[in-house]
Amino acid sequence: DDGIIFWSINANLKVQKAKIAYYNTNGKRTNKFNVHYKNEDGYFNCLFGEHLIYDEIKGRKTIILTESEKTAIVGFILFPQYLWLAYGGINGLTENKVNSLIGHNVLIIPDMSENAVSIILNKIPVLISLGINAKIWDMTEGKTDEQLELEGIYNNDLEDVFRKVII
């Protein structure tokens, strides 16, 4: 039905969820989603791309963590020297998803909004206390949501930036 399936596969190579997202012809996501594997059926979400994390890359390869699965895929295509994962939305970076990140260097890139940045800033100390070398790249550069709205970039993500630069 013209949706894109993003498979979340855990560190044990087991499918945890399949999120189906829908996009407009300009590449922007709509608000329509389908998730067929439900928590009540025993399926619990993990980081998108979690199956790609190996102990051998600890300290050698930076993990880039984005909100959107699409951004993680495009990021990998453009910058394959990093390991690109996604946490699946503004509130998707939960404590039950981060165990696979322990011991790794992680750069988190939230979408461009005060709320998205604030949520991640509040999680950084928790991640560090768990043994995750986590940092944030705040693409808002301290701008308010109103300023971002005026610039036409409110709630954009890194993939939006890529698309503007590449096109």
> For 18-66, what is each residue's pLDDT tens digit?
888 998 887 778 888 777 766 677 667 899 999 999 888 888 899 999 9
Q: What pLDDT, on the 0 to 100 scale, is given for residue 57?
A: 83
> Of 27 and 130, which is predicted with more confidence?
130
Q: What pLDDT, on the 0 to 100 scale, is given for residue 167?
A: 54
60-107 pLDDT, tens digit each: 899 999 999 999 999 999 999 999 999 988 999 998 899 999 999 999
What mean pLDDT is predicted for residues 127-152? 95
Cα–chain center distance at 13:
19
pTM of the model: 0.90
What mean pLDDT is predicted for residues 139-147? 94
